[in-house]
Chains A and B, each alone.
Chain A
Amino acid sequence: MTVIQMNQAKPTSLLSVRELCVDYASRQGLKRAVDRVSFDVGANEVLGLAGESGSGKSTVAYAIARLHRPPAFITGGSIVLDGTDVLKLQGETLRQWRWRDVSMVLQSAMNALNPLLTVAAQFADLFRAHGIRNKAEIRERSAELLRMVGIAPDRLLDYPHRFSGGMRQRLVIAMALALSPKLIIMDEPTTALDVVVQRELLEEVTVLRRRLGFSILFITHDLALMSQFCDRIGIMLNGDLVEMGPPMQMVEAPQHPYTRKLWNAIPPLHPSEMPPRRVLENTP
Chain B
Amino acid sequence: MAPLIAPAGPNQRVARPHEPPSAEHVLGSTRMGRDVLAQTIHGTRTSLMVGFIAGLVVTVVGVAVGVTSGYFGGRIDEALNLLTNVVLVIPNLPLMLVLAAFVGEAGPLTIAIIIGVTAWGWGARVTRAQTLSLRQRDYIRASELLGEPAWRIILVELLPNLVSIIGFNFIGSVLYALITEATLEFLGLGDPLALSWGTNLYHAQETSALRVGAWWEIAAPSLALVIFGSSLSLINFAVDEIANPRLRTLRVPKRILAALRPVGAAE
- Residues of chain A at the chain B interface (Cβ within 8 Å): 21, 23, 25-27, 29-30, 66, 69-71, 73-78, 86-91, 94
- Indicate whether B234 reaches chain A with its CB closer than 8 angstroms: no
A-B pairs, top 3 by smallest CB distance, nearest first, are A87-B264, A90-B265, A25-B252
- Indicate whether B24 reaches chain A with its CB closer than 8 angstroms: no
Query: Cα distance A29–B267 when bound, in Å?
Result: 21
29 contacts between A and B (CB under 8 A): A21-B263, A23-B260, A25-B252, A25-B256, A25-B257, A25-B260, A26-B252, A26-B256, A27-B256, A29-B256, A66-B267, A70-B252, A71-B250, A71-B252, A73-B260, A74-B263, A74-B264, A75-B260, A75-B263, A86-B264, A87-B263, A88-B264, A88-B265, A89-B265, A90-B264, A90-B265, A91-B265, A94-B265, A94-B267
With known contacts A70-B250, A71-B250, A75-B261, A90–B256 Cβ distance under 8 A: no
- Indicate whether B259 reaches chain A with its CB closer than 8 angstroms: yes
With known contacts A25-B252, A25-B256, A26-B252, A74–B266 Cβ distance under 8 A: no
- Residues of chain B at the chain A interface (Cβ within 8 Å): 250, 252-253, 256-257, 259-267
Q: Which of B259, B261, B266, B267 has the most CB of A within 10 A?
A: B267
Shortest Cβ distance from B257 into A: residue: A25
Q: Is the interface of B mostly helix, strand, loop or mixed?
A: loop
Query: Cα distance A78–B267 when bound, in Å?
Result: 16
Query: Cα distance A78–B263 when bound, in Å?
Result: 8
With known contacts A25-B257, A66-B267, A74–B262 Cβ distance under 8 A: yes
With known contacts A70-B250, A71-B250, A76–B256 Cβ distance under 8 A: no
Q: Chain B residues with Cβ under 8 A from A23's Cβ?
A: 260
Q: Chain A residues with Cβ under 8 A from B261's Cβ?
A: 75
Query: Cα distance A30–B257 when bound, in Å?
Result: 9
Question: Are A30 and B260 interface neighbours, CB within 8 A?
Answer: yes
Q: Chain A residues with Cβ under 8 A from B253's Cβ?
A: 27
Q: Chain A residues with Cβ under 8 A from B257's Cβ?
A: 25
Query: Cα distance A137–B261 when bound, in Å?
Result: 44
Closest chain-A Cβ to B260's Cβ sits at a distance in Å of 5
Question: Are A90 and B250 interface neighbours, CB within 8 A?
Answer: no
Query: Cα distance A89–B264 when bound, in Å?
Result: 7
With known contacts A70-B250, A71-B250, A30–B256 Cβ distance under 8 A: yes
Shortest Cβ distance from A85 into B: residue: B264
Q: Chain A residues with Cβ under 8 A from B266's Cβ?
A: 90
Q: Chain B residues with Cβ under 8 A from A30's Cβ?
A: 256, 259-260
Query: Cα distance A23–B250 when bound, in Å?
Result: 15
Shortest Cβ distance from A23 into B: residue: B260
Query: Cα distance A29–B262 when bound, in Å?
Result: 15
Q: Chain A residues with Cβ under 8 A from B263's Cβ?
A: 21, 74-78, 87
Closest chain-A Cβ to B250's Cβ sits at a distance in Å of 6
Shortest Cβ distance from B264 into A: residue: A87
Q: Chain B residues with Cβ under 8 A from A73's Cβ?
A: 260, 262
Shortest Cβ distance from B265 into A: residue: A90
- Beyond A26-B252, A73-B260, A75-B262, 4 additional pairs, beta carbon < 8 A: A29-B256, A70-B252, A90-B264, A94-B265
Shortest Cβ distance from A76 into B: residue: B263
Query: Cα distance A30–B263 when bound, in Å?
Result: 15
